Structures are given as structure tokens and as C-alpha cells.
Amino acid sequence: MEFTAPQSPAGLRTTPSWLLNQAAGYAGRLISEGFAAHDLRGYHYRLLASLAEDGPASQADLGRRCGIDRSDVVAAINDLAGRGLVVRASDPADRRRNVISSTEAGADAARRMGETVDRVQDDLLAPLSTTEREQLTRLLTRLLEHHSRL
């Protein structure tokens, strides 16, 4: 995908917030296109990746781990379950709760989507050296950590 910077005033084109917004929009398009090849979306990946990394969880815990609203988690889990990527089971300790687990197909989908994320990073960050990529990641992490405390 070729990026053409919008014609904006020079003062904006040198403003970090504007540049971050433009880069985030481009990154979002790349990720969306990559996930569409799997017929899935970003929130599907967050759920599947969380299950792969941290194991089974209640729907509520899974939503908190992924930063997805409770009602959206239910719809996404329904979709993933319908595709055979996750299973829902009653929690033996509390039958009112559902515990979500990834299936083998779900773990495979998470792995393939992770590979897509890696390819997108390579495309997005192509003009940067490895050192610059690491520096950018450190700086963005610092910004996000600062603003998440506010």
C-alpha cells in the first residue's frame, strides 16, 4: 500500500501528534487488511493471542485482559466459537461463569495472525534500522505508560 501524505499545513506536518495519528492510521489499515486475509479482525486476534499467552479465562477476565468492553467480548466470543476457534465451558467453581479456551484451530489462527502482525511491522517500519525500530518502540511505550497513568 502506497502512502500519500495529505496536503496539510506545514505546521501540522511537523507536529508529533499529527505524525503519530497519520502513522497510526496507516498501521491500522495494514493490520486490518492483513487480518481480513484470515477473515478475522483485530479484536479476534487480541482474544486469541491472550488465550494463547495466558490460557483460559472467564469472559469478563478475557475482556479486561484485552481491553474489550464486556458486551463486545460476548459477540466476539460467539463469533470465534461459531468458527470453532474457542470453546465455552461452565466454570466448575462457579456455574454462572463461562470459561473460554482456545481450540487447536484457534491456537493455529493466533499463530498465523501473529505472523501477519510481524509482516505488517516489517512493512510499516521498513525505512527504519533495527536500532531505530527499537528506539521508536521504547519512546512510544514511554508515551503510552505516561498517559495511561493520567
Distance CA 117, CA 35 (A): 9
pLDDT at 134: 97
pLDDT at 6: 60
Structural domain contains residue 6? no
Structural domain contains residue 137? yes
Structural domain contains residue 49? yes
Full-model pTM = 0.84
Number of domains the chain contains:
1
Enter the C-alpha cell of residue 100: 473460554
Structural domain contains residue 61? yes
Structural domain contains residue 21? no
Structural domain contains residue 47? yes
Contact 105, 85 (CB under 8 A): yes
Task: Divide the 150 residues of the chain into consecutive groups of 10 and give the mean pLDDT of each group.
Answer: 62 88 95 96 96 94 93 95 96 87 97 97 97 97 90
Q: Strand (E) positions, 38-91?
A: 57-58, 86-91
Name the residue range of residue 114's domain.
28-148
Structural domain contains residue 94? yes
pLDDT at 4: 55
Residue 97 phi/psi, 5-degree rounding, is -100, 145
CATH code: domain of residue 142? 1.10.10.10
Enter the C-alpha cell of residue 108: 493455529
What's the half-sphere exposure (Cβ side, CA atoms, 13 Å) at 40? 27
Q: Is 69 exposed, middle or buried (0-12, 13-18, 19+ CB in 10 A)?
A: exposed
pLDDT at 93: 84
Distance CA 24, CA 124 (A): 10
Number of other CB atoms surrounding residue 68 within 10 Å? 21
Structural domain contains residue 22? no
